[in-house]
Structure 1
Amino acid sequence: MNLLQRHLFWSVGGTCLAAVGLFAAVLILGNVLKDMMSYLLAGQIDVATFGLLMGLLVPYVAAYALPMGMLTGVLLVLGRMSAQQEITAMRAAGMSMGLIMRPVILLGVLGALVAGVVNFEFMPRARSAYKQILADAVQANPMSFIVPKTFVRDFPNVVFYVDEKEGTQLRDIWFWRLDDDKRVREFGRAAAGEVTFDEEAGALNVVLRDVAGEGRGLRDPEDYSKVLGNTTVGEVPFVFQVDDIFSRRKARTKYAWFTYTQLQAERARLSEIGDDEGLMKVSLALNEKGSTAIAVLAFALIAVPLGIKVSRKETSANLGIALLLVMGYYFLTVVVSWLEGRPALRPDLLMWLPAGLFLVLGVWLFRRVDTVR
């Protein structure tokens, strides 16, 4: 590459890295507030585990931050260069658009390769480790399942709300018993209670005292004309097997958290047993990971003509364009994912549609800009 191309390569590359870092930080903060902060404040995980979990979030959010960062970085740099007539000067010197933008396309290809490795290897491994470490940390302190002023939904067919907790003593407890369809069939309120853990049985025991409750009809809990009336009892016991709770959590593993090797092994296993529904889910996961990696190149390609055409130095304007494009891309991805239950429409192949549209649009816009003198 000549001097101008090297300048463009490092300018765009540096800005893209900064944009990826910014988006990653925002996504990490969102995940921390959503998944981890409540565990930390409740004492279910310590500070060291909290820091480790934050580190494991980096590969997970990188899968989403890379496409957004590439798009934003290219728009910012080319918008500034176009506004300052640098692109015009390069073209006046006899350089074609293809030659000028070669470093950007190279960055897009490199970004797509990095995104592919992240999507198929680093992200699934980090996400699985994240879930395992978080589950082990909480399981090591089962008494922390009961968190004050929080709706506790970890127990099967029961929801708890505890206003105060001091050691093993609970005060002002609300509880709801649910049926298999998650409808309330009984709810009650207790003035006090106690929670203990039976290590030998691996069970969490919750005993509520001075309970006032109301029952619903078993056939139709939502028919309020058949409320069974208020009842008052001395004690109501609940026993929960902690191992069962975590077995259910581990059974929720998504194919999106599988590595490429694991997905191929799962595909072979499902083919042997003839599970067409499972095969579609595996194929959907494979194609989604691949299309998200290609989206990095597609965003780089579409950002070139947009950055030159818009010709804005204002960071906020270019960030706004990037945000709209990213929202459009992920909206299309979500729409395709809704077709998961309709395998005849081949949602696994349609998963390439958003990236393909952006690639075609980018090439078309690039050619239009290249023909304008």
Structure 2
Amino acid sequence: MNLLHRHIFASVFLTCAASVALFGFVLMIGNAMKDLLGPMLAGQLEVDTFVRLVGLLVPFVIYYALPMGMLTGILLVLGRMSSDREITAMRASGLSVAWLSAPILFLALLGVVAALFINFHFMPVARMAYKREFAEAVRQNPLSFIVERTFIRDFPGVVLYVGEKDGNELKDFWLWELDDQKRVRRFARADTGRLDYDEAGNKLVLTLEQAQAEARDDKDPENFRMVHGSAAWERATFDLPLSQLTGERSMKRKLKDLTFPQLMAEWARFQTPAPDLAKDEQDKQLMRVQITIHEKFATAFSVLSFALVAIPLGIKVSRKETSANLGLGLLLALGYYFATVMAGLLDNSPAWRPDLLIWLPNIAFQGMGLWLFYKVDRA
């Protein structure tokens, strides 16, 4: 690699690294605010736990940020070089577009290898560590789920409200039980109550004093004329299971959370006929595994696809403005991910082979990139 190649490689590498960091930071902030900021402000997470959980989000956001960062970084560098007439001077010296692109394509191939390791190992491992860390933090302080003067929707099927909370003593307590359509079918209210944690059952036990309750018609709960009447109890007990939040649901592995050996084990499992599973359902499950495997491979190779488009496009647009190139990169990346999502929506139709359709955006981008290379090289 000569001096000119090293100059191009270093410029593109640094700019791509900054672009990946920028996109990753934006995605990380979004995930942290959605999943972690509320529990931390409510006292459910300590600051050090919050920081560790944010750190475990890094491989997850890099999964999406690496292809976008590569595309944007190449556009920024080549746009600046074209605007400063550096590309023109190099081509006037007899250097071809392919020769100038060699260090960038080499960097893109390194990005593909890095993306494969992230997609099939680091990201799944970090996701499971994230879930374990979050679940453990919740188990250590389960009563923190009850926040006073707040509508609490953390428990499936119910909404809670507590006017005041002093330790595990509650005042002005309201409980709404919802049906599958999120309509209120039962309602209870109490002036005072008590909240205890049942560690063996992994649940909160709510004891209400002087409670009043109202039941509505199960078929038409919004018809207030069909209210079945109200009842009053000196004491009533409700169980609020935490397994949905800290145990079974938190630690349930999605296909994206599996490493490559685990995905291959799932693929082999659904290849073998199962007597307790209908063939149509087994085919759908097998297709979902295949889609996940192909999607992770396709996402890694999208780094190369984006580079093939960005190189001739960056030379051709000759724009130095950061905002224009960032916008162009984001628009192309969104188009790619939209096409990928549309292919993934066919997971219940194995006959359409959505696992292969998921490669169409890569093929389209690479075809467009080669065509742009041809046009630029002849210009």
Query: Where on the TM-score scale, by shorter chain, does this alignment land: which range?
Result: over 0.9
| Deviation per residue, 1:268-295 (Å, 9 max, x gap) | 1222244222211111110111111011
Please say if 1:346 is aligned against 2:344. no
Q: 3-state DSSP class of the match of 2:159?
A: strand
Please say if 1:319 is aligned against 2:326. yes
Aligned-partner residue type, residue 276 of structure 1: D
User: How much has 1:180 moved relative to structure 2?
Assistant: 4.8
TM-score for both structures, normalised by structure 1 = 0.93
Instruction: State the alpha-carbon separation in 1 of the partners of residues 119 and 177 from structure 2.
Output: 40
Aligned-partner residue type, residue 93 of structure 1: S
Instruction: State the alpha-carbon separation in 1 of the partners of residues 101 and 267 from structure 2.
Output: 40
Instruction: State the alpha-carbon separation in 1 of the partners of residues 206 and 150 from structure 2.
Output: 16
Q: 3-state DSSP class of the match of 1:329?
A: helix
| Deviation per residue, 1:324-368 (Å, 9 max, x gap) | 111111111222222222222121211112222111111111111
Instruction: State the alpha-carbon separation in 2 of the partners of residues 72 and 124 from structure 1.
Output: 26
Matching of residues 258-277 of structure 1 within 5 Å: 258-274=258-274, 275-277=282-284
Instruction: State the alpha-carbon separation in 2 of the partners of residues 159 and 306 from structure 1.
Output: 53
Please say if 1:228 is aligned against 2:244. no
Instruction: State the alpha-carbon separation in 1 of the partners of residues 6 and 285 from structure 2.
Output: 48
User: How much has 1:245 moved relative to structure 2?
Assistant: 5.1
Q: Is the 8 A contact 2:128 2:251 kept in 1?
A: no
Q: 3-state DSSP class of the match of 2:54?
A: helix
Instruction: State the alpha-carbon separation in 1 of the partners of residues 354 and 298 from structure 2.
Output: 12
Q: 3-state DSSP class of the match of 1:176?
A: strand
Instruction: State the alpha-carbon separation in 2 of the partners of residues 230 and 265 from structure 1.
Output: 54
Instruction: State the alpha-carbon separation in 2 of the partners of residues 242 and 5 from structure 1.
Output: 57
| Deviation per residue, 1:199-226 (Å, 9 max, x gap) | 4554311123444444221234355553
* CA distance 1:149–1:69, change in 2 (3 Å): farther
| Deviation per residue, 1:29-88 (Å, 9 max, x gap) | 111111111221222222222221111111111111101110110010000000111101
Q: Which moved more, 1:286-295 or 1:228-237?
A: 228-237
Matching of residues 134-149 of structure 1 within 5 Å: 134-149=134-149
* CA distance 1:307–1:168, change in 2 (3 Å): same
TM-score for both structures, normalised by structure 2 = 0.91
* CA distance 1:68–1:183, change in 2 (3 Å): same
**Sequence identity (%):** 52
Q: 3-state DSSP class of the match of 2:347?
A: helix
User: How much has 1:231 moved relative to structure 2?
Assistant: 5.0
- Please, which runs of 5 or more residues in structure 1 have no aligned partner? none
Query: Partner residue of 1:283?
Result: 290
Matching of residues 21-40 of structure 1 within 5 Å: 21-40=21-40
Q: Matched residue pairs, number?
A: 372
Please say if 1:366 is aligned against 2:369. no
Matching of residues 91-240 of structure 1 within 5 Å: 91-180=91-180, 182-199=182-199, 201-229=201-229, 231-240=231-240
Aligned-partner residue type, residue 116 of structure 2: G
- Please, which runs of 5 or more residues in structure 2 have no aligned partner? 275-281
User: How much has 1:305 moved relative to structure 2?
Assistant: 1.5
